[in-house]
Structure formats: structure tokens, C-alpha cells
Amino acid sequence: MSHVPALLVIDMQNAAVALSHRPRETVATIASLERRARAAGVPVIAVQHEGAGLEPGTEGWAIVPELAPLEGETTIRKGSADAFLDSDLDPCLRALGVTEVVVTGFATEFCVDTTARQALSRGYDLLLVADGHTTSARPAVDGFVASAQAVAHHTAVYRHLSFPGRSIRVLPAARIDFTAPRP
């Protein structure tokens, strides 16, 4: 089977990025990946959450300008942490022949994690961009760990996660070349 990646940019919307941990660095990392993906002919798919505080058409709901989809690129709307649930994501990926999702975005322990695991369950290989996902800026409160720890924890989990018949890679953006992984 051939290797066909797609870059997923999850919930990098104005309201989310405004309250995120390391927003400038994360946006810059994802923007660089978007440029490289487009240059390699890899589809860039924006995933956009709808819900309380992220009502369609509002400024908070809009994708940050640095990551705005280009003309003709796909935007998938979702209403839960799972970008596959009740959305067009899976049919879109299948129509493109995608075999691996390259996952970036917000929020690490919610939408990024849930979508990454669902991708694996649906038969896709996974590449988690170690420096391309983030969460809310917060200290350790209400049972949550501090932001930097949450990002590091989830990144480490994917380095050790095994899924039968799937390739799971965790790489920093600088090491991603959008080619097939080595066995």
C-alpha cells in the first residue's frame, strides 16, 4: 500500500489560540508545516469546532489568519472532541486515499488526543507533531496538570502507544518530510 499523508490542523481558531499555551510558537510551527505540506502536494485539512464560545461566523470561531485554509482546501466542521464523529472527515480522507494523518492543533488532551486515537481505530497511521499541538494556558488546577506537563505527557504516551497494524510516529515538525516512514 502506498503512503498518502494528510496534515490535520485541529481547532486552531481565534478563541482557542487566545487562551492557549505557547500560542505564537505553535502557530508558527503549524504554519511552517502547512507550507511544506502544500509544497509536497500533501492535503492540508482544517478542522473547526462549533459550540459554546465558538459559534459559526463569530471572530472567535474563525481560524487564525496565519493558518487560514487556502482556496480549494478542505475545512471540516465538528461538534465534539472527536473530529470524525458526525463530520465529513473520514469520507474526505478516504476520497483522498489518505493512509496517514499528521496531527496538529488544540487542545492536546481533548480534540488532538481523541481525533488521533479515532484515526488509529479507523485504520489510519498516525504522525503526532511533537511541537505542533497545545492546550489551554493554565497552572495545575482542578485536577489538571500544568499546560507544559499535559503536552509533554500526551507526546510521551504516543511515543509508547502500540496499535496493531498501524504505524505511530512522534516527531518534531523540523523532522517531518511527508514521505513514507522507514520500517
CA distance 71 to 43: 12
| pLDDT(166) > 80 | yes
For 137-163, the pLDDT digits (tens) are 987 778 888 899 999 999 999 999 999
For 57-67, the pLDDT digits (tens) are 999 999 999 99
| pLDDT(10) > 80 | yes
Cell digits of residue 177: 518530510
Query: Average pLDDT of 54-76?
Result: 97
Q: Provide the Cα torsion 119, 16, 107, 180; round to 10°.
A: 50
